[in-house]
Amino acid sequence: MAEVIEKPAAKPDPARVMQMVEKARWAAASYSTYPRAAVMEIVAAVAKAAAAEARRYAEWAVEETGFGVVEHKELKNRLCSLGLQAHYADANFADYVVDPATKTVAIPKPAGVIFALTPSTNPVCSIFYKAILALLTRNAILFSPHPMAKACCADAARLVNRAAEAAGAPDGIVQIIDNPTMPVIEAVMRSEHIDLILATGGSPMVRAAYSSGNPAIGVGPGNNPAYVDETADVAKAAKAIADSKAFDASILCTNESAVIAHAAIVGRLADELKRQGCHMLSAEERDRLTEHLFPAGKFNISLIGKPAETIAESAGLRVPRGTRILLVPLERIGDDYPMSREKLCPVLGFFEAPTREAALTACRAMVRNRGAGHSAAIHANDPAVVLRFSAELDVLRIAINVGCSTGAAGFDTFLAPSMTIGTGFFGRSSVGENIGPQHLVQWTRIAYDKAPDAAFPAFNGLSLPEPPTRPRLPVGKIDYSFDWVGGRPSRPTNAPAEEPLDPDLRAEIRALILEELRALRNGEA
């Protein structure tokens, strides 16, 4: 990646940020009138521009955050740009839909202005993913990036906006707050001019979104079991699990927390996992790693997304060169047993279940342990076993004979490709699906009398009426112009000069990061 020279961060001005919200309102009102053909041209342009820079942003994200795998982040950036565009190529969120059978007509209505919170674990791909969902549904979007990844996210958001504008989108359809602080974030979340909050991050931030008073879509934490049944193809299961757990150093919330292995195949599975670069620790090594990974029972956030060999070395353990995953033999599953919890690094629990009943009990216990509503995986070739497993676990997506990381996220399955995983009622989330464009649009339904003798007219050839006046950019004392090349909104003529980053602002940013890291330690991210 080319060297990036950062300018001193300007103290965020709440009034300036609210100007961005107002500009987004104008952009949303204008964009809501665009026909589908124009919308899809804009989405295609954004996807192409994002994919072209996938590698650069992958390198930048790893450099800025200090964790993850460049090659895997590049893949996620491509999946969340061209991959997302291809998945929704036939979707239509702009035209009305007529159903003569039910005598109804449905007219799409965009949410309006979306305020999107993005995480440090999946920074740039979340920018691409949420921006494309917003553009598909004719919404404007304002981003608040995680402070640990704010530079790469800000640049990516501006790339998206430039591409969208060049393809005909209204000015400022995608915006980002360069230096978010808790007071600014809370002010925007509570603003009556925000129509929807799309929150991806730690539990504290998601809870804040839900308590803002505005409609919000948030997600819950995962603690995903991967059960390997006696009917499984053991070699294929081992490869799928190892590749999934190693993917982007295990920072996807859909990654496996532990393997639950049926006793009938446990030896073969351990051997196959070893062939896939997994190293099984001894009980003594496990205990030493537990103290290092969970000091005082709290997750050591300095190890998030670090390579397995780096983690082992930092714990004073010797492992074979080329080790991708540290396998940890579990004595049991429980809230008070840290190694059976979510681990956002390539450390994978390994639990032997004497029977299928015991395996299902262990999987249910893991899900109860801060993973309700999220994801699970099962490797089995008996559909009856798959059906029972799926019925008994309180999760809302189950990957079958495929890695959980990219399977539950919809990249290796036909689930919707997503960087935001709804956990539904089980996980205290408002949505139980992988979040897609359908969650960012509402439909006004025209309903005719269902009596057989009541006429239902033909709507063929009719177009939705244009608004009486096309929305115009507000004018007045506030300066709504933005310098997208320089990276910050231009200053109103009567605004004071910007000051360098002061100690109070540093303290606010530090407090936000610490709150997020405390959630990660507690397994709530």
pLDDT band at 481 (very low <50, low <70, confident <90, very high): very low
> What residue numbers bound the domain in which 329 lies?
224-408
Over residues 498-505, the mean pLDDT reads: 48
* Res 413 pLDDT > 90: yes
- Is residue 240 a part of any domain in this protein? yes
Long-range contacts of 501-504 (CB under 8 A, 24+ apart): 501/8, 501/9, 501/10, 501/11, 501/179, 502/11
Question: What is the pLDDT at residue 465?
Answer: 83
Boundary residue ending a domain (354, 388, 408): 408
* Res 97 pLDDT > 90: yes
pLDDT band at 182 (very low <50, low <70, confident <90, very high): confident
- Is residue 30 a part of any domain in this protein? yes
Cα separations in angstroms, 366 against 25, 296, 361, 372, 409: 43, 21, 9, 9, 19
* Res 395 pLDDT > 80: yes
This prediction's pTM: 0.86
Number of domain units in the chain: 2
* Res 491 pLDDT > 50: no
Q: Which one-letter DSSP state was computed for residue 490?
A: P
* Res 308 pLDDT > 70: yes
- Please indicate, yes or no, whether residues 116 and 212 belong to a single structural domain of this protein: yes
Question: Residue 307's closest CA among 294, 280, 326?
Answer: 326
- Please indicate, yes or no, whether residues 215 and 228 belong to a single structural domain of this protein: no
- Please indicate, yes or no, whether residues 255 and 212 belong to a single structural domain of this protein: no
- Is residue 142 a part of any domain in this protein? yes
Catalytic residues: 253
For 10-24, what is each residue's pLDDT tens digit?
556 778 899 999 999
> 3-class SS at 196?
strand
- Please indicate, yes or no, whether residues 247 and 178 belong to a single structural domain of this protein: no
Question: What is the pLDDT at residue 193?
Answer: 93
- Please indicate, yes or no, whether residues 379 and 477 belong to a single structural domain of this protein: no
- Please indicate, yes or no, whether residues 207 and 295 belong to a single structural domain of this protein: no
CATH number of the CATH domain containing 368: 3.40.309.10
pLDDT band at 475 (very low <50, low <70, confident <90, very high): low
- Please indicate, yes or no, whether residues 189 and 262 belong to a single structural domain of this protein: no
- Is residue 298 a part of any domain in this protein? yes
- Please indicate, yes or no, whether residues 212 and 235 belong to a single structural domain of this protein: no
**Which positions ≥6 away from 53 have C-beta within 8 Å?**
77, 156, 159
- Is residue 415 a part of any domain in this protein? no
- Is residue 414 a part of any domain in this protein? no
- Please indicate, yes or no, whether residues 282 and 391 belong to a single structural domain of this protein: yes
- Is residue 117 a part of any domain in this protein? yes
* Res 516 pLDDT > 90: no
For 454-467, what is each residue's pLDDT tens digit?
999 999 889 888 76
* Res 7 pLDDT > 50: no
> 3-class SS at 474?
coil
Q: Are 24 and 175 in contact (CB under 8 A)?
A: yes
- Please indicate, yes or no, whether residues 398 and 362 belong to a single structural domain of this protein: yes
Question: What is the pLDDT at residue 12?
Answer: 63
Question: What is the pLDDT at residue 486?
Answer: 33
pLDDT band at 199 (very low <50, low <70, confident <90, very high): confident
Report helix angle 123-136 to 150-166, nearest 10: 30
For 339-377, what is each residue's pLDDT tens digit?
999 999 999 999 999 999 999 999 999 999 789 999 999
Q: Report the chain's mean pLDDT, rounded to a whole number.
A: 88
The residue to which tokens 């800000």 are assigned: 154
Question: What is the pLDDT at residue 455?
Answer: 95
Q: Are 218 and 439 in contact (CB under 8 A)?
A: no
* Res 512 pLDDT > 60: no
Question: What is the pLDDT at residue 520?
Answer: 54
Q: Are 411 and 83 in contact (CB under 8 A)?
A: yes
Question: What is the pLDDT at residue 404?
Answer: 97
Pairing of strands 256-262, 278-280: unpaired
- Please indicate, yes or no, whether residues 190 and 263 belong to a single structural domain of this protein: no
Q: Are 156 and 175 in contact (CB under 8 A)?
A: no
CATH number of the CATH domain containing 67: 3.40.605.10
Question: What is the pLDDT at residue 376?
Answer: 97
- Is residue 23 a part of any domain in this protein? yes
Question: What is the pLDDT at residue 208?
Answer: 79
Q: Are 369 and 333 in contact (CB under 8 A)?
A: yes
> 3-class SS at 36?
helix
Pairing of strands 482-483, 488-489: antiparallel
- CA–CA separation, 73 and 393 (whole Å): 30
- Please indicate, yes or no, whether residues 209 and 229 belong to a single structural domain of this protein: no
